Amino acid sequence: MPIRLDERLTCIANLVDYGRVADVGCDHGKLGYYLIGTDRASSVIATDISEGSLKKARELAYENGVTERMQTRLGDGLAPVANGEVDTVVIAGLGGDVISRILASAREERKRFAHFVLSPNTHPEKVRREIVSQSHKIVYDDIVECGGKRYTVIKTEEGKEELDELQILFGAFYKDNASFAEYAKQELEYKQNILKKHSDKELLDRVELLKAALANVRG
Ligand SMILES: C[S@@+](CC[C@H](N)C(=O)[O-])C[C@H]1O[C@@H](n2cnc3c(N)ncnc32)[C@H](O)[C@@H]1O
């Protein structure tokens, strides 16, 4: 059965290079099934911390006859995946604090993977900080719009990364990203309007960071 993904999962799927993939926090399992069905992955390990979620992925794989190429495993983060067992780890649809914790636990256990494709719902800056600690470098860092929301999508590979604080906050390639500039201008205007009515230190700090980032945007 062919499957259609939304814009967010399509963007994530397009970033996966052919090979062995782990989809951590797979829930419905649609991404893994799509990767197998479109031959974008040789095999998928779909993991989830919730048995209820994993059941959906298991049924999807079973009903479509792909259980030999799509395994399901229960567990927290990368605990069910061994060091180097897959080429690409996808973690999408979780908060940046959870994703960075999952990556840090794997790092502490000396697990290495060639690529990460990460899409935090919140706190992308925590994920970028952890990527630097992983000795991975960012090769893709953009925002995809889906269902009226904006989602950060990041791809990494092994290598040394140096990001300044503005890149950590706004994305490795924010200086050349037209959609970042548009989003930052909207956020700046919104926050400046609030500041006209109330003084707020946190808001003021964010305004200064947005101004500094916008001043660096090229073109
Ligand atoms: C919102 S869904 C995202 C599903 C899919 N990855 C996507 O992007 O559409 C989050 C899933 O992550 C699972 N999850 C949450 N914390 C987890 C953890 N620490 N390890 C593994 N899975 C986790 C949840 O059970 C849930 O199925």
Name which residue sits closest to atom 24 of ligand 1, judged by CA.
Answer: 25
β-partners of residue 74 are 48
How confident is the model at residue 102, as a pLDDT?
A: 98
51 lines ligand 1 (CB under 6 A): no
Q: Whose CA is nearest to atom 11 of ligand 1?
A: 25
In ligand 1, which atom is closest to the CA atom of 102?
19
Distances from the Cα of 96 to the Cαs of 130, 152, 170, in angstroms?
10, 10, 14
Residue 57: half-sphere exposure toward Cβ, Cα within 13 Å: 31
Does the Cβ of 94 fall within 6 Å of ligand 1?
A: yes
CA–CA separation, 213 vs 184, rounded Å?
Answer: 8
Cross-strand bridge partners of residue 20: 43
Q: Please tell me if the CB atom of residue 77 comes closer than 6 angstroms to any atom of ligand 1.
A: yes
Tens of pLDDT, residue by residue over 107-149, are: 999 999 999 999 999 999 999 999 999 999 999 999 999 999 9
Cβ–ligand 1 distance for 49 under 6 Å, the answer: yes
Q: Is the per-residue pLDDT at 210 higher than 90?
A: yes
Domains of the chain: 7-165 (3.40.50.150), 179-216 (no CATH)
pLDDT at 1 > cutoff 80: no
pLDDT tens digits for range 4-45: 999 999 999 999 999 999 999 999 999 999 999 999 999 999
Q: Following DSSP, what letter does each residue of 17-31 receive, concatenated?
A: PSSEEEEET-TT-HH
Contacts with 101 (C-beta within 8 Å, 6 or more apart), sequence order = 77
What does the pLDDT average to over 207-216?
A: 97
Alpha carbon of 199 to ligand 1 centroid (Å):
38
Q: Determine whether the shortest distance from the Cβ of 24 to ligand 1 is under 6 A.
A: yes
Q: Is 171 in the pocket of ligand 1 (CB under 6 A)?
A: no
Reply yes or no on whether the pLDDT at 219 is more than 80: no
Q: What is the pLDDT of residue 2?
A: 80
Is residue 100 lining ligand 1, measured as CB closer than 6 Å?
A: no
Q: What DSSP character marks residue 147?
A: T
Give the model's pLDDT for residue 94: 98
Taking only the tens place, the pLDDT of each residue in 51-110 is 999 999 999 999 999 999 999 999 999 999 999 999 999 999 999 999 999 999 999 999
